[in-house]
Amino acid sequence: MAKKSFRQAINEALAQEMRRDPRVVLMGEDVAGGQGAPGEDDAWGGPLGVTKGLMPEFGRERVLDTPITESGFVGAAIGAAATGLRPVAELMFVDFMGVCFDQIFNQAAKFRYMFGGKAVTPVVIRTMYGGGFRAASQHSQCLYPLFTHIPGLKVVIPSSPYDAKGLLIQAIRDDDPVMFFEHKMMYDDMDEVPDEPYTIPFGEANLTREGDDVTVVALGRMVKIANEAADALRKQGVGCTVIDPRTTSPMDTDSILESVEETGRLVVVDEAHPRCGMAADVSALVAQEAFRALKAPIRMVTPPHTPVPFSPALEDAYLPSAARVIEAVRATMA
């Protein structure tokens, strides 16, 4: 099977779905690039080249560059979805949700409920998240807990190129509004990715490591860190089950609870802010549903409750690391 990057996996999923279904259109700032400019067409293919090559194949009628107008085009994607297209909008950085959130959480998320089940809004909003790029406070956040909080939205956080392709195809074929999170530090990650289209269902966790001693739940890029920690701990005789929920809405709570019933110990690793985040959410779930199985207090490995700093020295201290996961796992064993 061919090795492909996370970037290629996303691009391939988009291209295959656009070939399959003429209602699938892309829109966003510079998704092609160069519109109206004297130089090259398809100049960017998105700021990190993820959508490069799609405009030449599908034309500007289906790969729509937009002005810098997030409320306008995210709202337009939602309105188009409610009237018969299946748009994939690219919100360049999730940090920009501040200028278009109303259209997502008051409009798209609520149409079906408010309108008595008669609305279908098959929109996908792809967005970049996460730290490590030295992009500072307004271009490094995770923010997926905010979307997970909203009934009516589905939230997808792939942790590998293989998952990215299968989950994105699922997202495009899904009839509900989907927020699709791509970590900006993962685009060059390589993985075996099948050439043919395939889907991965939402709400089904992936167990990336198996062990008897501690359950580690991690999302997105944190899955890599959790795996790294689990591999190191294995050598020291500590077995971890690493659970990647893949989607936070819907979330595979059964897999988490079943594992904790077996291990009796839980560490949750999340790159999002600690308050009202996924780590707190998973911890609350286990405390309520599997309290008697717990042999030790739950541990959360998250950044501190601060904005994301710029300086590499500070940002490295801010982000969760394998060493901190190991420390947390050891604490549950003490």
Partner 1 sequence: MQLNREQLLAAYRMMRTIREFEDRVHVEFSAGDIPGFVHLYAGEEASAVGVCMNLDHRDKIASTHRGHGHCIAKGVDVEGMMAEIFGRGSGTCGGKGGSMHIADLEKGMMGANGIVGGGPPLICGAALTAKTLKTGGVAVAFIGDGASNQGTTMESYNLAKAWMLPAIFVVEDNGYAESTSSSWSVSGSQLGRAAGFGIPAVQVDGLDFFAIHEAAREAVERARDGGGPSLIHAKLNRYHGHFEGDAQTYRGNGEIERLRAEHDPLTHFRKRVTEAGLLEGGQLDAIDAAAKSEIDAAVAKAKSAAMPPLAELLTDVYVRY
Q: Is 24 in the site for partner 1 (CB under 8 A)?
A: no
Our CB check for partner 1 shows the closer of 177 and 277 to be 177
Q: Which of 72, 194, 197, 239 binds partner 1 (CB under 8 A)?
A: 72
Using rule CB under 8 A, residue 160 touches partner 1: no
| 69 is an interface residue for partner 1 by CB under 8 A | yes
Write out the H or E segment, with its range, that includes residue 129.
Answer: strand 124-129
Per the CB < 8 A criterion, the answer to whether 184 and 219 are in contact is: no
**How many binding residues for partner 1 (CB under 8 A)?**
47
Interface with partner 1, residue 37, by CB under 8 A: no
Residue 126 in contact with residue 88, Cβ under 8 Å?
A: yes
Q: Which region among 56-64, 133-141, 257-265, 301-309 touches partner 1 (by CB under 8 A)?
A: 56-64
| Residue among 84, 196, 235, 334 that touches partner 1 (CB under 8 A) | 84
Among 250, 321, 324, 330, binds partner 1 (CB under 8 A): 250
Q: Does 75 bind partner 1 (CB under 8 A)?
A: yes
> For the stretch 198-208, what's the b/e string if a residue is b when 16 or more beta carbons lie within 10 angstroms of its beta carbon?
ebbebbebbeb
Confirm if 285 and 256 have CB atoms less than 8 A apart: yes
Among 2, 37, 61, 196, binds partner 1 (CB under 8 A): 61
CB-CB contact of 303 with 266 (8 Å): no
Q: Which of 139, 183, 273, 305 is catalytic?
A: 139
Question: Site residues for partner 1, window 171-210 (CB under 8 A)?
Answer: 174-176, 203
Min dist CB 96 to partner 1, Å, is: 13
Examine residue 106 and tell whether it contacts partner 1 (CB under 8 A).
yes
Task: Kindly tell me the burial class for residue 23, based on how many C-beta atoms sit within 10 Å of its own C-beta (0-12, 13-18, 19 or more).
Answer: middle
Query: Cis before residue 250, ω within 30 degrees of 0?
Result: yes
Give the pairing of strands 3-5 and 190-192: antiparallel
Task: Rule CB under 8 A: say whether 33 interacts with partner 1.
Answer: no
The residue (of 110 and 330) whose beta carbon lies closer to partner 1 is 110
Distances (CA, A) of 51 to 64, 219, 223: 11, 24, 25
- Of these, 113, 207, 311, 323, which contacts partner 1 (CB under 8 A)? 113
Interface segment toward partner 1; rule CB under 8 A; list 131-139, 146-154, 159-167, 325-333: 146-154
Q: How near is the Cβ of 80 to partner 1 at its closest, in Å?
A: 4
Task: Give whole-number Cα distances, 289 to 258, 284, 333, in Å.
Answer: 10, 8, 21
In terms of CB distance, is 66 or 227 closer to partner 1? Answer: 66
Q: Concatenate the DSSP letters of all residues of 280-305 into one string.
A: HHHHHHHHHHSGGG-SS--EEE---S
Asked whether position 102 contacts partner 1 by CB under 8 A, the answer is: yes
* Residue 230 phi, psi dihedral angles, 5° rounding: -65, -40
Confirm or reject binding of residue 253 to partner 1 (CB under 8 A). no
Helices first, then strands: H and E counts in the chain: 12, 14
Let me know if 305 is a catalytic residue.
Answer: no
291 binds partner 1 (CB under 8 A): no
Are 332 and 297 contacting, i.e. CB atoms less than 8 angstroms apart?
yes
Backbone torsions φ then ψ of 315, nearest 5 degrees: -65, -40
Give the residue numbers marked as catalytic: 139
Q: Which residues bind partner 1 (CB under 8 A)?
A: 23, 25, 61-62, 64, 66-67, 69, 71-85, 87, 102-103, 106-107, 110-120, 151-152, 154, 174-176, 203, 250
